[in-house]
Amino acid sequence: MPKIVTKKTRFPEGWEVVKDTLDEFERKMREALADPHEGKRKVESVWPIMKINHQRSRYIYEKYYHTHEITKEVYDFCLKQGYADASLIAKWKKTGYEKLCCLKCIQTRDSNTGGTCICRVPKSKLESGTIVQCTNCGCRGCASCDV
């Protein structure tokens, strides 16, 4: 969640480019937090929140690195204020992690086998017809070699 905006918060020049979209993501995040989670498994109740966090971080990443619509000051402000996940963006910049869904999926200590999550396995390596869904975030495949 982003930090609370006060009167002392100084927005950098060019903030208007991303402001409306980030406000929309904030609205979606509040709805996801307020959603009832009866009948869902404990991990499933967090999936919408992780998905929105991924989308918001990806939006800022794309605006800065690919379309160059925001400045370095706006990008740094977004990271500092918590609008984007800096650790996730750092992984996206590395080869092989361009489509990474969340950091939990690459942590080997969280898995039973000592490897990464099943969603990181390329779809071509899985048996045909196998539907894979990550237990951490609900991802259905984030291997960089998948189209």
SS3 state at 10: coil
Query: What is the distance between the alpha carbons of residues 145 and 142, in angstroms, rounded to a whole number?
Result: 9
Determine contact, residues 50/102, Cβ cutoff 8 Å.
Answer: yes
Q: Domain residues of the chain, as ranges?
A: 1-93, 98-147
Summarised one tens digit per residue, pLDDT across range 130-142 is 778 888 888 888 8
H-state helical runs in the chain? 16-34, 47-61, 72-81, 86-92
The mean pLDDT value of the chain amounts to 87
For every one of its 147 residues, what pLDDT tens digit does the chain have, with 9 covering 90 and above? 666 677 778 889 999 999 999 999 999 999 999 988 888 888 888 899 999 999 999 999 999 999 999 999 999 999 999 999 999 999 999 998 898 988 888 887 766 677 778 888 888 888 877 778 888 888 888 887 776
**What are the distances in angstroms from CA 61 to CA 10, 48, 69, 83, 120?**
21, 20, 10, 11, 21
